[in-house]
Structure 1
C-alpha cells in the first residue's frame, strides 16, 4: 500500500520535471529543450496526456481570446491552427503518411515504405483535408 502522506524527495521531483520537460520538447515546438534520448521519452509516455492537456488548454486560451473580437468561424480556424502550430504539425504529418499508405493496394512491405516517403499523395491529402475540416467544424460547434 502506498502511503499518500509520504513526501517525495526533491531528487524524484526534479527527475519527474525533467521527464515532463523532455516530453514537452518531443511533442511540441516549445523551446524547453530535450535533454534525453527518445528512449527516455518513451519510458515516460504516461506523461503524454499531461502534455496534451497543457497544449490543448494553451490553444483553448488563445481561442477564447480570439473569440472576443473575431467571428466564430475565423476564431475557430485560428484556434485550430494554433494547436497545429504548437504540436509542430507532427500529428498532421503522420496522418498524411497514414492516408497515403491506407489507399495503396499492394504489399504490406510497400505500405510501410510509403509511411516513410516524403511525398504526399492523394490519400494523405484527403485524410488531412477531412481531419482539418472536421476539427474546424467541431470547434465552431463547440464555441458557437
Structure 2
C-alpha cells in the first residue's frame, strides 16, 4: 500500500465518528438552547439524531435535579423545586410546554379538525392552554417538593429521558396531521426508535436501581404516550409538532407521579 492510499482510509475511519458527533450535536441543538458551533453539526442527520433524544433528556433532567440540590440548602425545598422546574423548562426554551398549551387550546375549541389545527397554530395561548400549563406545573411541583434531593434527581432523569423516548414512539405510530410543519417532517427510523427506547429504559433502570420502579415508570410513559396518540388520531387526524411536545410534557409528569406514588 502506498502512502497516497493512507489519507482516504483515515478519512473513512473518522467518517462514522464525525457523523455520530454531528447527530448528537443536532439532538442537543434541537432540544435545548445550548449554543453549538456550526461545525459541530458536520455529517449529522436529524433522522439519526432522534436516537439521541433520550440521552439529551438525561442531561436535562440531571441539570434540573442539580439545581434543586444546589438551591435546597439556601432557600428550602419548595422554592428550590420551583427553581428546578424553571430550569427544566428554560433548558428547552419551553419547547414542550408550548406544545402542551397549543394542544389544550385545540382540545377546548369548538369546531372541526381544521378549526382545531388552525387554533393550535396560533402563537397566542388561550384559556385552556393556560390551564394546562398551570396543571402541569402544579402536578410537577407538588410531586417533587416533598422528595429528597436524591429522589428528585432520580425522578427528573427518568421523566426527562422517557418523555423524549415517548415522543419518538408517538411520531412512529401516528401519521402526520398536515403535509407541512414539524409533525410532517419529523420521521424516526426504526434503528433510532430502538436506540432511543433502549437508552431511556436503561437510564431509568440505572437511576432507580429497582426493577419495580423501572417497570412502573415505563408503564406510566406508555400510558401517557397512548393517551396523546389516541387523542391526536381521533381529533386531529395525526401528529403535529405540538402533539410531539405535549407527549414529552405529559409523559414527564406521568412518570413523576408514578415514581412519587411508589416512594411514599
Q: 2:106, 2:45 → 1: CA distance?
A: 29
Q: Does 1:51 align with 2:63?
A: no
1:5-64 residue CA offsets vs partner (Å, 9 max, x unmatched) = xxxx4321221111101110110001124666xx93243211110111111111111211
What residue number does 2:123 align with? 118
Structure 1 portions without partners, runs of 5+: 1-8
Q: 2:64, 2:38 → 1: CA distance?
A: 22
What residue number does 1:71 align with? 76
How many residue pairs match? The answer is 134
Q: Does 1:139 align with 2:164?
A: no
> How high is the TM-score relative to the length of structure 2?
0.48
What residue number does 1:105 align with? 110
Structure 2 portions without partners, runs of 5+: 1-12, 150-264
Q: Please point out which of 16, 23, 40 is paired with 2:20.
A: 16
Tell me if the contact between 1:22 and 1:32 (Cα under 8 Å) persists in the aligned partners: no
Runs of 4+ with >2 A deviation: 33-36, 141-144
Q: Please point out which of 24, 30, 36 is paired with 1:32.
A: 36
Q: 1:49, 1:34 → 2: CA distance?
A: 22
Q: 1:59, 1:99 → 2: CA distance?
A: 25
> How high is the TM-score relative to the length of structure 1?
0.85
Inter-CA distance 34–143: structure 2 relative to 1 (3 Å threshold): farther
Of Structure 1 and Structure 2, the greater helix share is in 2
Tell me if the contact between 1:63 and 1:75 (Cα under 8 Å) persists in the aligned partners: yes
Q: Please point out which of 119, 126, 133 is paired with 1:128.
A: 133
Q: Secondary structure at the match of 1:44?
A: helix
